[in-house]
Structure 1
């Protein structure tokens, strides 16, 4: 009896250890909390089925933080672009505050007689995914991407190195890259022009439209600052760059600077071009 009991204990320990070892070898343990940072970027094939991509990432319980390069063409005529932009800006995943649909991301292409739609998409949870897919279907958009599309993911903390290799097994993935933090930076923008009137009045607020360039498709307006030296004002536009992969265009963005003079005289307004030079205007205040 004692031999049988001893053998039973040995057998139990053997299988218990074997099971434990097997689990240790195959199980990858991470925090279940998804990172709030962009710590994994994946490239998506040009002809990938977007619904399949969404379904796969949802099954993996990844947060889709940002999508770049998902361009579309539509039969919207040039006269309908303003309404289309307004429709897109009703979508919280397109208009986020710093980002929105604009005439620079939605415009008519004379060469193909179609309207181009090229907005960055943010925080694509299931509701936003379904809304976007319905938008594509109802407006009969065609894929207009020119190359690889990019998706930035928040994955479980500590798992980004593992998923960098694992995601390459999916047929729609072209590349993977990991990041330790959100790709976010601020730089002075290059002002192209400003609509400065020749004259104004004391204590009058004069809105001045400014056009400036950013370096790539991740750039957007961040803030305006000014320094004063007598009647000379130096105005600097700071641009925000958010995203780890950016389209290589140089967008022109508009913003408004409100100028007010408390005393009469000639004022010199110097708008920084970001390289040490300026676009300079003079306004007479009486």
Structure 2
């Protein structure tokens, strides 16, 4: 009888240690089904209307929980005097979301004196615009006396939910702030041709 109890106890312990095969969780939308290889899954390019301000842009994208990877093309005129250009470049390059290698602030490049008005003009490329970076940029705009100007070329590179790229590419242009939206297409270039 003792052996029977030991045998039953050993069987119970052995069955507790045996792991049931776990079925892998099937993703709702596998990445291979998201993109057919002609565009980058999870990315969207969006152009804003000329009069859409950067704070409006941030609010729109934050409300949809997009990741703002970069913003290109906003134009600012500073109320600071023309001889403040070196100060402006130094201050802008203190920002990690501006001083990103080739996209840093450069005197007579993207920070310059307008040839007609001599107004101190800034055209930054803003990278990795987290909400903290957005708040910092808006405070910097105030501190450097920058006034945003209407521009035809303000565009944004966004991160969106996987498999939602085409949905947002169709939905965003319906918003009055948005001029166009496209999936981030992959262009294959043949060398030498």
**TM-score higher than 0.5:** yes
1:167·1:173 contact (CA, 8 Å) conserved in 2? yes
2:93 aligns with one of 77, 89, 94: 89
1:69·1:120 contact (CA, 8 Å) conserved in 2? yes
Paired residue for 1:151? 156
1:107 aligns with one of 102, 112, 130: 112
TM-score by length of 2: 0.71
Residues 77-130 of structure 1, C-alpha deviations (whole Å, 9 max, x = no match): 232111110000000110012321001110111411311101211000001101
Question: 4+ residue stretches of structure 1 with deviation over 4 A?
Answer: none
Q: Larger helix proportion, structure 1 or 2?
A: 2
1:178 aligns with one of 176, 180, 183: 183
Using the TM superposition, give the Cα deviation of residue 169 of structure 1 relative to its aligned residue in structure 2, in angstroms.
2.0
Using the TM superposition, give the Cα deviation of residue 69 of structure 1 relative to its aligned residue in structure 2, in angstroms.
0.8
1:39·1:180 contact (CA, 8 Å) conserved in 2? no
Distance in 2 between residues matched to 1:65 and 1:129, nearest whole Å:
12
CA RMSD of aligned residues (A): 2.4
TM-score by length of 1: 0.49
Using the TM superposition, give the Cα deviation of residue 65 of structure 1 relative to its aligned residue in structure 2, in angstroms.
0.6
1:98 aligns with one of 98, 102, 106: 102
Using the TM superposition, give the Cα deviation of residue 179 of structure 1 relative to its aligned residue in structure 2, in angstroms.
1.2
Higher relative contact order (CA 8 A, sep 6+): 2
Aligned residues: 152
Q: How does 1:169-248 map to 2 (within 5 A)?
A: 169-181=174-186
Paired residue for 1:134? 139
The farther-off stretch of 171-180 and 46-55 is 46-55
Q: Larger strand proportion, structure 1 or 2?
A: 1
Distance in 2 between residues matched to 1:37 and 1:89, nearest whole Å:
32
